[in-house]
């Protein structure tokens, strides 16, 4: 802009030019900080205030209008009062708050068409949920169950089966009857300290009885420096 045009320009023009100069100084300082081990065209950087980029954006927007994909609607825009610019969602910072959490055991309604109810006909089944919005519980309609569910074959301090594998086998058979192509997988820890031959044989029997298609085995190892090394002697050859 020539000096004569500047002299004729309104006061707002001087303010805009001052802001532009300040922004360009920030860009220069950012380039100095970033131009270290970073691959980029710092000699010809992309700056949104450049006219050629503004023109390119308008051209793309015009094509979108011609294609009929532009519509008018309300949308909240986060605005920084201090920086006088719009903020992206990733730039927002929220104050941390602590909400009450609660575990709730909801009884399963018996259903003659449900194979699970048939297997556990003599027991009351519960679905345990966890929520941080307990005030919404009165409005609950149902509990959604993930298609991939985990069921423990072993329980208790000594990880004994307590006959759970028998019921698990019945559940697996019922699942395969309902969904012929269903897949079951399980995790097994073998070779843990203190494991007897009988316990290992029982684990192997469960695998054979249930007919898992995929299993993941983890060997208990007394590696130096680990917590496992301090709990028990590695007596498994």
User: What tokens appear for 236 in the block?
Assistant: 């498994």
pLDDT in tens, 98-134: 878 899 988 877 765 565 666 566 677 788 889 988 8
Residue 155 has pLDDT above 50, yes or no: no
Structural domain for 10, as ranges: 3-91
Q: Does 107 lie in the same domain as 81?
A: no
Can you give the CATH number for the domain in which 185 is found?
3.30.750.200
Domains contained in the chain, number: 3
Q: Does 136 lie in the same domain as 68?
A: no
* Chain centre distance of CA 33: 33
Q: Does 26 lie in the same domain as 107?
A: no
Closest CA to 49 of 23, 11, 84, 29: 23
Q: Does 160 lie in the same domain as 237?
A: yes
**Cα–Cα distance measured from residue 105 to residue 103, given in angstroms and rounded to the nearest whole number:** 7
Q: Does 152 lie in the same domain as 139?
A: no
Q: What is the dihedral of CA 177, 180, 182, 185, to 10 degrees?
A: 70
Q: Does 203 lie in the same domain as 159?
A: yes
Q: What is the pTM of this model?
A: 0.31
The full length of the chain comes to: 237
131-139: list long-range contacts, CB under 8 Å, 24+ apart.
Answer: 131/101, 131/102, 131/104, 132/99, 132/100, 132/101, 133/99, 134/100, 134/101, 134/102, 134/104, 137/104
pLDDT in tens, 23-80: 778 877 777 776 666 667 777 777 777 788 888 889 999 999 999 999 889 888 888 8
């Amino acid at each position: 802009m020539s000096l004569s045009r500047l002299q004729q320009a309104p006061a707002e023009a001087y303010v805009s030019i001052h802001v532009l100069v300040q922004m360009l100084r920030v860009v220069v300082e950012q380039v100095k900080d970033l131009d270290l081990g970073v691959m980029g065209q710092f000699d010809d950087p992309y700056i949104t205030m450049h006219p050629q980029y503004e023109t390119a954006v308008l051209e793309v927007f015009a094509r979108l209008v011609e294609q009929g994909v532009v519509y008018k609607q309300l949308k909240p825009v986060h605005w920084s009062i201090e920086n006088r610019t719009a903020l992206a969602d990733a730039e927002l910072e929220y104050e941390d708050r602590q909400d009450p959490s609660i575990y709730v055991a909801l009884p399963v309604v018996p259903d003659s068409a449900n194979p699970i109810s048939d297997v556990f006909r003599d027991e009351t089944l519960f679905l345990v949920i966890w929520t941080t919005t307990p005030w919404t519980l009165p409005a609950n309609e149902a509990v959604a169950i993930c298609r991939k569910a985990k069921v423990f074959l072993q329980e208790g301090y000594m990880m004994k089966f307590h006959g759970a594998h028998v019921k698990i086998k019945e559940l697996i058979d019922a699942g395969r009857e309902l969904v012929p192509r269903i897949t079951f997988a399980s995790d097994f820890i073998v070779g843990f300290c203190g494991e007897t031959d009988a316990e290992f044989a029982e684990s192997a029997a469960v695998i054979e009885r249930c007919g898992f298609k995929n299993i993941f085995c983890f060997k208990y190892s007394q590696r130096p420096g680990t917590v496992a090394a301090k709990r028990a002697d590695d007596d498994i050859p």
